[in-house]
Structure 1
Amino acid sequence: MNKKYYPSAFILYLNYFIHGIGCSVLGQAVIKESLVEQWGVGIGSIGQVTMVAAALGLGRLISLPIAGPLSDKMGRKISSLIGIASYAIFFIGVAMSPNMWVAYGAAILGGVANSFLDTGVIPACVEILEPRSSLATMLTKFFISMSQLLLPFMLGALAGANLSYNLLLYVSGAAIIVIGILVAFAPMPKAAKKEGEKAPGLLENIRNSKFTMESIALIVISFTCTATFQLWLNCAQTFAKDLAGVQDPSIMQTYYSMGSLAAIIVTAVLVTKIKGVRFLFVYPLVTLITLVLVYVMRSETMCYIGAALVGYSAGGVILQLVTATANDLFPKIKGTITSIVMIMSSLSNYTILSLAGTMDSASILMMNIVITIVGVLLALFVNLRFKRLSND
């Protein structure tokens, strides 16, 4: 692809820097405390913020079935701009929310934003960087991890200046509006279409495909792996502060992001020599051992180590590897199978975090351990049967 589009790709990727803040900010202990105070419901109602975070998954779940087709029909720029506008409303809406339900509605739009960015930005960048599609996809995770790495320092700077944490939300909303203006004027490549070609619909592709027990197990892993890292992102800091005596749990976000960045780099190298499906078992197994140690030891040191290890083994590339493996198994319906994987991921985000909002931090971590065990067993099954599955 002509290098003249490279600046456009960079502008598009900046959306994922802001997205990294959007998908993590509600999991920060200080943000939770600030919001419940803003809503006037008391520190004992922190679970309400977790339920608001769950609404991100609901918004994604609602919009995913239409976001992809709209991107294909109306173009990547339109899809990206819808995502950008929705994200601006999310940030400003949460910052101004007088109660949980206003924030909940804003969070649904945050999920919508995620869907339209995924179906607008990612295909556009893949088209710009062809044939390096893997690099194009991995760069989205890189920008997310970079902002998550910096997030605790942003919060620390606000605290040091005695400023409201809502300022971060307002600045993020303003920043993505500026990015949206740049996207509106950025040149984009036109996706190639065959004359008279009509792509089959989602349901038609599902009916015409052969789903085995192994492929279904693989798809379910997208549910379990999402639950694992979302529960950690949104609830681990509360556990660390309440039960492990961690004075500044926001630092855990930095360790998590460092682990995530390391996973992107290391796995990108290893996956050229080792089948991606192998990591679907090894990485969750590491996560499981880590979660058990954090639960049992309940120490500050173990919480920091755990954050880095969970960031590496759960928050880095597992969902991307599930998507890539599913695409290998269903090469003729890549778009459909990707939608199915992401719908399962969004369903996990919504249901599991909604449930977590009604539980105490120790019970949430135990639930995370149980879900991760299920993920490990599913991955073991898929690995044992993968050779036969890939030959079908």
Structure 2
Amino acid sequence: MKNTYFSTAIGLYCNYLVHGMGVILMSLNMSSLEQQWQTNAAGVSIVISSLGIGRLSVLLVAGMLSDRYGRRPFIILGMTCYLIFFIGIINTHSIYIAYAFGFLAGMANSFLDAGTYPSLMEAFPRSPSTANILIKAFVSSGQFLLPMIISLLVWAELWFGWSFLLAAAVMLLNGVFLFRCRFPPHPGPHIAIRTQPAKQVTGQPEHQCSLFDLASYTLYGYISMATFYLVSQWLAQYGQFVAGMSYTLSIKLLSIYTCGSLLCVLITAPLARKMERATSLLMLYTFISVCALLMVCLHPTPYVVIVFAFVIGFSSAGGVVQIGLTLMAARFPHAKGKATGIYYSAGSIATFTIPLITAKLSEISIAHIMWFDTGIAAIGFLLALFIGYRSRIASKHQLKMAQVAE
């Protein structure tokens, strides 16, 4: 299986390298887009929020249709939507049309997710977790490379739009490559119908999970996404206007940020295999995020912001979202797909509500945005503690049931 679909996996991962760039392209080119669209930072932030709305609008439907019609069509559709976004966003002078292109980019993200995650799990059935967590590594790699590319364009005094066109070129070439690759067969609806009676024959009790657990995991999906998404969008602006860093140095903060997230992916992948460790890591990483955000708010100096960029990338963007999803799916063993949809839908809500809030805060002070993120992270830590407490109770209950059964 590995040798058969290795080239396909490489193409799928390359899509997320470009996606990592696409998420932050508008925020890193904010000043240029302000001039082109004749708006301010708040206006660009509202356009950025359209990505979250677009993703949420088709997330659940795209996943269900992917199960029915296959993975390849949705991956190609996602790539096509991204190409239209990259080219269209730099050729419009209307903030309303830009919002529509941003909405399309959000849909592209959902289409890619709907096709890519199942494809990787079907291509590598023996190590699906490893295959999926590598997606995060490629997203972080794209976010690491883009600030360097933009710095080079600024140094050479070239048009900012080349960064968008470069992403479009990579996506186009990768689309041609993937069009020729083989995809693993997916279990169609006819297979799902046949396997339904088999589940009923086993007689295993349906796992029950309280509304408190469902609410806590769903809210954590929102909080964890909001914490690192907010930083990824405003870190460069915070470094430049609050910490007093130069523009070229401030955009490199995102490269430092993604270095932290990449290191965390490498460390977390082997450690999070056991559920007990995953719960501890969830609480630890969320606590580190709170401490790092509080430190940078109290001492917004260039050196502190540089260290903060690495630490917050490690603790909030290095796999903590995936850990939360893994824990939630474990509590819903007979409805993992549904749990995934709920969890990531909450995250998608964060990606369009947070920019709307920060757009208002930016009119007061960019420093207020980081204080707002600190408050969000603090709530996330309390939720992580509650999730850890509930997980421990569930483990004790399962142990007692096993002892009774013996």
Q: Is TM > 0.5 for Structure 1 vs Structure 2?
A: yes
For structure 2, the residue ranges without an aligned partner over 5 or more in a row are: 197-206, 399-406
Counterpart of 1:163 in structure 2: which amino acid?
L
Q: Which of residues 381, 389, 392 is equivalent to 2:394?
A: 389
Match of 2:340 in 1: 338
**C-alpha distance 66-209 of structure 1, shift in aligned 2 (>3 A):** farther
Which aligned segments of 4 or more residues in structure 1 are displaced greater than 6 angstroms? none
The whole-number CA distance in structure 2 between the counterparts of 1:382 and 1:121 is 29
Q: CA deviation at 1:387?
A: 2.0
Instruction: Give distance in 2, aligned partners of 1:197 and 1:291.
Output: 46
Number of the residue aligned with 1:359 = 361
Shift of 1:24: 1.8
Contact 1:214 1:386 in 2 (8 A): no
Q: Distance in 2 between matches of 1:209 and 1:175?
A: 46
Q: Shift in Å at residue 2 of structure 1?
A: 5.5
- In the other structure, the counterpart of 1:239 is 238
Q: What are the superposed Cα offsets for residues 172-220 of structure 1, whole Å, 9 maximum, x if unpaired?
A: 12321221222222111112347463499xxxxxxx9643313321221
Aligned to 2:403: none
Q: Do 2:21 and 2:146's aligned partners in 1 also have CA atoms closer than 8 Å?
A: yes
What aligned pairs does 1:147-162 form with structure 2 within 5 A after superposition?
147-162=142-157
Match of 1:321? 323
Aligned to 1:51: 46
Q: 1:113 aligns with which of 96, 99, 108?
A: 108
Aligned partners of 1:214 and 1:389 also within 8 Å: no
Q: Does the alignment pair 1:306 with 2:308?
A: yes
Give the corresponding residue for 1:184.
Answer: 179
Distance of 2:171 and 2:100 partners within structure 1: 19
Name the counterpart of 1:18. Answer: 18
Quote the residue 1:5 is aligned against: 5
Q: Distance in 2 between matches of 1:244 and 1:264?
A: 28
User: 1:139-184, CA deviations, whole angstroms, 9 ceiling, x for partnerless residues?
Assistant: 1111111111111111111112211111110121232122122222
The one-letter code of the counterpart of 1:266 is I
Give the number of the structure whose alpha-carbon radius of gyration is greater.
2
> What secondary structure is seen at the aligned counterpart in 2 of 1:249?
helix
The CA distance in 1 between the partners of 2:309 and 2:333, in whole Å, is 35
Q: Which runs of 5+ in 1 are unaligned?
A: 201-207
TM-score (norm 2): 0.90
> For the residues of structure 2 that align with 1:271 and 1:315, how far apart are their CA atoms?
15
Cα shift readout 1:230-253 (whole Å, capped 9, x = no counterpart)? 110111221221111111210101
Q: Could you state the TM-score of these two structures normalised by the residue count of structure 1?
A: 0.93
1:203 alignment partner in structure 2: none
| Letter of the 2:266 counterpart | I
In the other structure, the counterpart of 1:66 is: 61
The match for 1:376 is 381
- The residue identity in structure 1 corresponding to 2:257 is Y
The one-letter amino acid paired with 1:80 is I
CA deviation after TM superposition for structure 1 residue 374, in Å:
0.7
Aligned-partner residue type, residue 216 of structure 1? A
Q: Does 1:267 align with 2:268?
A: yes
1:226 and 1:345 in contact (8 A); partners too: yes
Matched residues in 2 for 1:52 and 1:209: separation? 41
Q: 1:383–1:209: structure 2 CA closer, same or farther, 3 Å change rule?
A: closer
RMSD: 1.9
Amino acid at match of 2:315: S
User: How many equivalent residue pairs?
Assistant: 381
Q: Structure 2 counterpart of 1:142, which letter?
A: A
Aligned to 1:197: 192
Q: State whether residues 209 and 331 of structure 2, in contact with CA within 8 Å, keep that contact through their aligned partners in structure 1.
A: no
Q: CA–CA distance in 1 between the matches of 2:344 and 2:83?
A: 23
Cα distance in structure 2, aligned partners of 1:65 and 1:122: 13
Range with bigger deviation, 313-322 or 158-167: 158-167
In structure 1, the partner of 2:254 is: 253
